[in-house]
Amino acid sequence: MPGNHQAMWERLNLDLDAHASLLEVLGKFYGDIYLSQQGRLQGMEYLDFVLSEIHGLRVQELQQAKEQGRKVVGTFCVFVPEELVWAADAIQVGLCAGAEAGTAAAEKVLPRNTCALIKSFVGFKLSRLCPFFESCDLVVGETTCDGKKKAYEILADHAPVYVMEIPQMKQACDRQLWQAEVRRFKTAIENLTGRAIDAANLGRAIRLINDRRRVLQRLNRLRAADPTPISGRDVLLINQVSFYDDPARFTQKVGELCDQIEAKISRGEGVADGAVRVMLSGCPMAIPNWKLPYLIESSGAVVVGEESCVGTRNTRDLTDDSGQTLDAMLNAIVDRYLRIDCACFTPNRERLDHIVEMARELKVKGVIHYGLSFCTPYAMESFKVEQALSQAGIPMLGIETDYSMEDVEQLKTRVEAFVEMIR
Amino acid sequence: MPGNHQAMWERLNLDLDAHASLLEVLGKFYGDIYLSQQGRLQGMEYLDFVLSEIHGLRVQELQQAKEQGRKVVGTFCVFVPEELVWAADAIQVGLCAGAEAGTAAAEKVLPRNTCALIKSFVGFKLSRLCPFFESCDLVVGETTCDGKKKAYEILADHAPVYVMEIPQMKQACDRQLWQAEVRRFKTAIENLTGRAIDAANLGRAIRLINDRRRVLQRLNRLRAADPTPISGRDVLLINQVSFYDDPARFTQKVGELCDQIEAKISRGEGVADGAVRVMLSGCPMAIPNWKLPYLIESSGAVVVGEESCVGTRNTRDLTDDSGQTLDAMLNAIVDRYLRIDCACFTPNRERLDHIVEMARELKVKGVIHYGLSFCTPYAMESFKVEQALSQAGIPMLGIETDYSMEDVEQLKTRVEAFVEMIR
């Protein structure tokens, strides 16, 4: 950590010793997985800096914003319409959910058979390890899966929790329910901030977030180049950082990076010469969950796409910005978020089509489906994914794991065998 | 099996050898757990007969009804509004989901980390072991949990599946969604049967199903007597049979049993002298899942209530029968089913209140919370149940298990220790 943020972390009532250990492990892990890469693009320095200050400068910015009366809204899911948060001049951040640090505390209130992501965010809160969580004026959950839906009831004893209901189908009645939920959320944000959301500020927020989506779409398009110009773990990191850095700054910095990538492509340069192109599909990978991409990219393959919430599921669709009235903009938000192809929907044919389409566009040799242990929606849907890929002639390897390092050798063996098979 | 139904089972394309083994095990199990009880009420002969003919006479009735043009609708959940099925002169049956028989087949298409109930019904279908399933013209699923929601997508490759969406909250927009779903289901049943549902036949169906609920309510009230007049496993069986026997016959037979119970109470007689009164709460127990009640009642306790879908959750609420128009009746159905306090809702405070209220009315010394392994909604909610019971001064034991017999000794030790503690 370049900066000294001890006083701030103390004010936020973090468990300072445990937090220091966490940052130490994270720094070491980042060095091994990221800084060890050869010939990285200069634009990645922005990401390295953001990561080196992960619980520092950005949290300091949040504190300064709070002093000026702005509110901080924490989220765990791509369904929360962040345009409404930014429109009311509040700040949205994705909360820490990618490390094991608080598991022991989480298992006192959650079943052991709970996915690592849920244990992680409950554990981070109960163990006072996440300065983002401690900065939140509101924490917004959603009903995307049984585990999160019920965990928020328990989390509500410890934090100001608001839950959005996500429909489970995409019929007319579901759109109506979702429309009511988007409007209820708008009111909640207006009440939290004391600011009315209107066509002017919502229009600005839609453009702000669309710009961030556009730059990530551009990045993903550039990866279709052969050889691919950037490692999968670097792009995963960029997606992860998109959830908590300032959106305008992020868009500018990733835009600069894309310029460098274009130049690199025009020189015919890539990363990982001769590596087998694969795509990841499935559960989200929150910081610092870099285990599987690192294993894959240490096994003769390169990841060229992430069909995931921390990936294309969050960036594929723009919010229509042509509406002039508040109503038209709210409807555009309703429609945009209902297009998300999360496994929480039944049926969810769109996702299968998206996966096959992406695999073809990115010219991958195979797909690695990533499931968090005990994530029922994605585990069950992987059966349909394998069917769809098989019909398209694309091999799939299904991996189920959590945040522990115990299975690393076993996973490496399986990944290497798969890469060898599809080479 | 008293009757000879081989020809019928062959016509239904059952796996005859595997099915014969299943029935043999079931008969043995039933003898050990049920017929071994001392001084049972004469009225239980009806249940013994129904069980002895579990895949025989009732299935034969269904076949005869089908020959006359009636349709058979299979379900897995108390959310499916059966009044609509009976109104259209179709027959609703709860499908087999309480035995391990088809697990090996199920695990080829489902993750191993799937609850036993889901594995069971998928396995019964894939292994051709359930004559009810094979008799169905329509199988109706619902979105109560991630596991079922996604398993129906896989089951739909093998059976005519229709899925109802169950809301996850109880706001105005949820009632609207549920109202749309009830009407969509009405249309589906009308299309299936070719019969219009109108105020006359729906009114009759509401009375038919309310009568069945009333007789089960009466049975549950009688169990409040001290000493309690009937074993918990007998009442569990009655609840289980309520899902698939003819409703009018069931109501009459259980009414006669209740008369006998009243006489028994007036003589001051009970079952299990000196046994500790406990209540079960949690996941449903489908036939022949009698493991836990049997263990409890072999450990110096008697079960006097089941807070479960195969229990009070299915019988607590009547459908208002005062409406005269079809619209009024449909609205009454919408309201009745939305009162169900399933753990699929968030929050679900009603359930906590119901459990404490029931425990007090039944004068229990403790509650045993039953969770099926990998059932996330009930596992997570058990944390809140324990909090609520603790505040009411009522001890709780949380048990998590599946359909295997491997953990019987371990469970018995835990149950005995709990019973000793609360005695």
Q: ipTM of this model?
A: 0.96
The whole-number pLDDT of residue A105 equals: 96
The whole-number pLDDT of residue B4 equals: 86
Determine the Cα–Cα distance for residues A147 and A109; give it in Å rounded to an integer.
Answer: 12
B189 to each of A309, B96, B183, B209, B333, how far by Cα in Å? 38, 22, 10, 17, 15
Determine the Cα–Cα distance for residues B307 and B305; give it in Å rounded to an integer.
Answer: 6
Chain A CB contacts of B381 under 8 Å are 150, 153
pLDDT higher than 90, residue A96: no
pLDDT higher than 70, residue A2: no
B269 to each of B37, B263, B264, B272, how far by Cα in Å? 15, 9, 5, 10
Domains and CATH numbers, chain A: 6-168 (3.40.50.11890), 203-318+342-422 (3.40.50.11900)
Q: Tally C-beta pairs within 8 A across A and B.
A: 133
Residue B306's nearest CA partner among B234, B257, B251 is: B234
Chain B CB contacts of A185 under 8 Å are none
SS3 A45: helix
B174: part of which helix (H) or strand (E)?
helix B172-193
CA-based R_g, chain A, Å: 21
Tell me whether residues B376 and A111 touch, CB distance under 8 A. yes
The DSSP result for A184-234, as a single string, is: HHHHHHHHHHT----HHHHHHHHHHHHHHHHHHHHHHHHTTSSS-SS-HHH
Prior bond to B347 cis, omega within 30? Answer: yes
The whole-number pLDDT of residue B3 equals: 63
The whole-number pLDDT of residue A106 equals: 97
B146, with CB counted inside 10 A (0-12, 13-18, 19+), is buried
The whole-number pLDDT of residue A4 equals: 86
Q: By CA distance, what is A400's nearest residue in B?
A: B111
B320, with CB counted inside 10 A (0-12, 13-18, 19+), is middle
Which mean pLDDT values do the consecutive 10-residue runs of chain B (423 residues) have?
A: 82 97 95 94 95 95 98 98 98 94 95 96 97 98 98 98 98 98 98 98 98 98 96 98 97 98 97 94 97 97 98 98 98 98 98 98 98 98 98 98 96 98 97
B99: part of which helix (H) or strand (E)?
none
Residue B396: what are its φ and ψ, rounded to 5°? Answer: -130, 140
The whole-number pLDDT of residue A272 equals: 84
Q: Write the pLDDT tens digit of every residue in A204-242.
A: 999 999 999 999 999 999 999 999 999 999 999 999 999
Band the pLDDT of A3: cuts 50, 70, 90: low
CA dihedral (A304, A308, A311, A316) in degrees, to 10, reads 100
Chain A CB contacts of B165 under 8 Å are 167-169, 171, 173-174
- Name the residue type at position B420: E
Determine the Cα–Cα distance for residues B122 and B104; give it in Å rounded to an integer.
Answer: 10
Residue A218: what are its φ and ψ, rounded to 5°? Answer: -60, -45
Closest partner residue to B109 among A169, A176, A383, by Cβ? A383
Q: Write the pLDDT tens digit of every residue in A139-150.
A: 999 999 999 999
Chain A CB contacts of B373 under 8 Å are 113
Mean pLDDT of chain A: 97
pLDDT higher than 80, residue A299: yes
Q: By CA distance, what is A383's nearest residue in B?
A: B109
Tokens 């799939």 sit at which residue? A396
Tell me whether residues A143 and B113 touch, CB distance under 8 A. no
The whole-number pLDDT of residue A58 equals: 96
Tell me whether residues A344 and B180 touch, CB distance under 8 A. no
The whole-number pLDDT of residue A235 equals: 98
pLDDT higher than 70, residue A1: no
Structure tokens at A199: 């066509």
CA dihedral (A13, A18, A22, A25) in degrees, to 10, reads 160
Q: By CA distance, what is B143's nearest residue in A?
A: A168
Determine the Cα–Cα distance for residues B362 and B381; give it in Å rounded to an integer.
Answer: 22
Tell me whether residues A346 and B381 touch, CB distance under 8 A. no
A75: part of which helix (H) or strand (E)?
strand A72-75
Q: Are strands A396-401 and A366-372 parallel, antiparallel or unpaired?
A: parallel
A8: part of which helix (H) or strand (E)?
helix A6-11
Does this model's pTM top 0.95? My answer is: yes
Closest partner residue to A111 among B110, B145, B379, by Cβ? B379
Which residue did the predictor score with more confidence, A39 or A416?
A416
Residues 6+ apart with CB under 8 A from A320: A332, A335, A336
Shortest alpha-carbon distance between residue B60 and chain A (Å): 35
Shortest alpha-carbon distance between residue A405 and chain B (Å): 21
